[in-house]
Amino acid sequence: MSVLAKRMKEARLRAGLSQEKLGVMAGIDEMSASARMNQYEREKHAPDWLTVERLAAVLDVPVAYFYAVDDDTAAMLLAFHALTPESRIKALEIITRMQ
């Protein structure tokens, strides 16, 4: 399974959304939303960049999450994304000092 398909399915399940509901919320036509999302998750087709951006917005994850190859990086992206802007600055300072 590709990283994109894996992360997309993980984020959708974590959000508690069906393929159809996610597709509709991301602006995909209601009549084809379920089929298209299924094709994305099964790697039959890949979504274009704009669709990935809309899916990320609906799922409240950074776009980079969908492309994170390893699980640790994906988890860091999700954790960082959930922080307030002030906490992000602090987290970056801590990580920079750790290097």
- What pLDDT, on a 0 to 100 scale, did the predictor assign at position 45? 94
Please write the tens of the pLDDT for every residue from 13-67: 999 999 999 999 999 999 999 999 999 999 999 999 999 999 999 999 999 999 9
83 to 16, 76, 88, 93: CA distances (angstroms): 21, 11, 6, 14
- What pLDDT, on a 0 to 100 scale, did the predictor assign at position 1? 78
Tokens of residue 43, six digits: 């790697």
Please write the tens of the pLDDT for every residue from 25-37: 999 999 999 999 9
* 65 touches 7 (CB < 8 A): yes
- What pLDDT, on a 0 to 100 scale, did the predictor assign at position 10? 96
